[in-house]
Amino acid sequence: MATPAQAQASTPLILSAETAADLMSVNPICIREDAMVQEAVALLTDKGFSAAPVIDGAGQPIGVVSRSDLFIHDREKMPYQAAVPDYYAADELSRAHGRKERGSLPGASADRTRVKEIMTPVVFSVAPDTPARRVVEEMLALKVHRLFVVDGGGVLVGVVSATDILKHLQ
């Protein structure tokens, strides 16, 4: 005999949306291609997003900047670190705990990299009238967490994320 949880789990889920327009979050927050990487970090962190569309000067989507892009960039810009020794001398410990070296200026080593240099330069998109089932199939086939919704003129009007799809399951 099936438990209530097992019976509920065997009930098929139904997507209660007809089109991409029904699924999408409208007016997605974007970041400009010429924004600094620090701005992308602040945007994703402050908003709790895992990625954001990147737009050009005309407002057209040209890519995506994700936390993964930022991690990769951060790792690639780091100089090679020597192996950690088994012990430290007293003067090494004081330097290791945040004391600044004399002569260093605040912001002297600020990252001047632009978002367009680290973004993923691909925009997977659908039209607002794309059937919801097709949106899900596209996301699965492309192995992406979001699809952008663009109108006939190529203007970004929304984004469909995996979370948006989950919100529409009954």
The string of pLDDT tens digits covering residues 148-158 is 999 998 889 99
Burial 91-103 (b: 16+ CB within 10 A, else e): eeeeeeeeeeeee
Taking only the tens place, the pLDDT of each residue in 74-96 is: 888 776 555 666 676 666 666 55
In 10 A of CB 50, how many CB atoms?
14
Report how far residue 114's alpha carbon sits from residue 116's, in angstroms, rounded to the nearest whole number. Answer: 5
Please report the pLDDT score of residue 99 as a whole number. Answer: 47
Q: What is the pLDDT of residues 17-39, one digit of tens each?
A: 999 999 999 989 999 999 999 99
93-128: per-residue pLDDT in tens? Answer: 665 555 444 444 455 457 889 999 999 999 999 999
Cα→Cα distances 27→57, 147, 155, 160, Å? 17, 14, 11, 11
pTM: 0.71
Question: Are the beta carbons of 149 and 66 closer than 8 angstroms?
Answer: no
Beta-carbon contacts of residue 110 (< 8 Å; ≥ 6 apart): 38
Pick the CATH number of 14-79+113-167 from 3.50.50.60, 3.10.580.10, 3.20.20.150, 3.20.20.140: 3.10.580.10
With CA atoms as reference, report the closest residue to 38 among 120, 123, 98, 109.
Answer: 109
φ/ψ (deg, to 5) at 19:
-135, 175
